[in-house]
Structure 1
Amino acid sequence: MGTINHFNCALFIVSLFLLKHTVSNIFLVGMPGSGKSFWGSLLAQDLGYTFVDTDSNIELLEKQAISQIFEQHGEAHFRTLEATYLRKLPQGINLLVATGGGTPCFHDNMSLMLSKGLVIWLDVPVNTLVNRLIFEKTKRPMLAQKTDEELIAT
């Protein structure tokens, strides 16, 4: 019940912002495990935006899981793919984009996103992130090699 109330509150705030500003794209950023993909798909549906998940779409385009891209080509290659993908997003069609956890940190992606739309940071308590990521770390290349203790310390 609390989650739905938080979601409705977030939807209301974003809707008010969109009424006052012309924004064609919304970008969700945040730490890995913050819920960008989950909340992004719900928010896009309620706002009538097209949902885009950068990680999922890069996997489709590359025909490889992100963990395989990291393993075979390295992080630098993945970050270049990510930046290229962001730069190719069309303008003016109301996209809600869930980015990867590291997206804002590379290739001036944050400036690009700010120039193309509204950027929303999903702020999640550290203990919530740790609880989520412990169960998902095999899917996340930056965390896969870490022990649970290292993950908690990070």
Structure 2
Amino acid sequence: MNIFIVGPMGSGKTTVGKIVADELFLEFHDTDAKIEESTGVTIDWIFDIEGESGFRKRETSILKEVVALNSIVLATGGGIIIAEENRELLASRGTVFYLHTPLNTQIERTAKDKDRPLLKDKDPEKVLSNLQKTRQAMYEEVADHIIDTENKSGSAVANEIVKLVKNYG
């Protein structure tokens, strides 16, 4: 059983993923953390040196490795769904949960975070709004389940996922 969590930045993918993994006794992975481990540098640095396209290549490479594992929970980067190949990998290797998160919540949650290369030196509201417009359909396309995160804690969202997995697992 593989559980993949997708959604925009600030949706709580990592937080929720760790809780779900603990609850279901599965191994937790995070694509961004794996990229940083394998390169020895931050995502921010990769964006600065290789640009977004260089980062996306690394992301697909890591995704291929991780989806080959079994009994895992995977928190993905917000843009992983951009590449059709990635959406196919996710859809074919596990159950995909999309954490649907309102724009105002994303803005609030990412406000103090300095490790968001797509938001660096830009108007976060504008960037997040544009990302939502361009990515929402892709999140929905790949999702087996859409979880609304509005006004919910990470553990409430995780409990919803655990319940779905136990009922349909």
**TM-score, normalisation: structure 2:** 0.72
Point out where structure 2 has 5 or more consecutive residues left out of the alignment.
131-169
Range 114-123 or range 101-110, more displaced: 101-110
Match of 2:61 in 1: 84
Q: Is the 8 A contact 2:29 2:75 kept in 1?
A: yes
Match of 2:115 in 1: 139
Match of 1:12 in 2: none
Q: Alpha carbons of 1:68 and 1:113: their partners in 2 closer, same or farther (altered >3 Å)?
A: same
1:142 aligned counterpart, secondary structure: coil
2:111 aligned counterpart, secondary structure: helix
Point out where structure 1 has 5 or more consecutive residues left out of the alignment.
1-23
Match of 2:85 in 1: 108
Quote the RMSD (CA, aligned, Å): 1.6
Q: Is the 8 A contact 2:18 2:28 kept in 1?
A: yes
Q: How big is each residue's C-alpha offset from its partner over 1:14-58, in whole Å with a ceiling of 9 and x where there is no partner?
A: xxxxxxxxxx21110000110000000001100111000110111
Letter of the 2:55 counterpart: F
Q: Is the 8 A contact 1:33 1:129 kept in 2?
A: yes
Q: Is the 8 A contact 2:118 2:127 kept in 1?
A: no
Q: Is the 8 A contact 2:67 2:89 kept in 1?
A: no
Match of 2:16 in 1: 39
Letter of the 1:110 counterpart: R
Q: Alpha carbons of 1:73 and 1:152: their partners in 2 closer, same or farther (altered >3 Å)?
A: closer
Q: CA deviation at 1:153?
A: 5.3
Identity %: 36
Q: Alpha carbons of 1:107 and 1:59: their partners in 2 closer, same or farther (altered >3 Å)?
A: farther
Q: Alpha carbons of 1:42 and 1:80: their partners in 2 closer, same or farther (altered >3 Å)?
A: same
Q: How big is each residue's C-alpha offset from its partner over 1:82-122, in whole Å with a ceiling of 9 and x where there is no partner?
A: 00111112545201000000001125201110000001000
1:68 aligned counterpart, secondary structure: helix
Q: 2:32 aligns with which of 55, 60, 79?
A: 55
1:84 aligned counterpart, secondary structure: helix
Q: Is the 8 A contact 1:134 1:151 kept in 2?
A: no
**TM-score, normalisation: structure 1:** 0.78
Q: CA deviation at 1:145?
A: 2.0
1:32 aligned counterpart, secondary structure: coil
Measured in 2, the distance between the counterparts of 1:75 and 1:145 equals 15
- Which one has the largest radius of gyration? 1
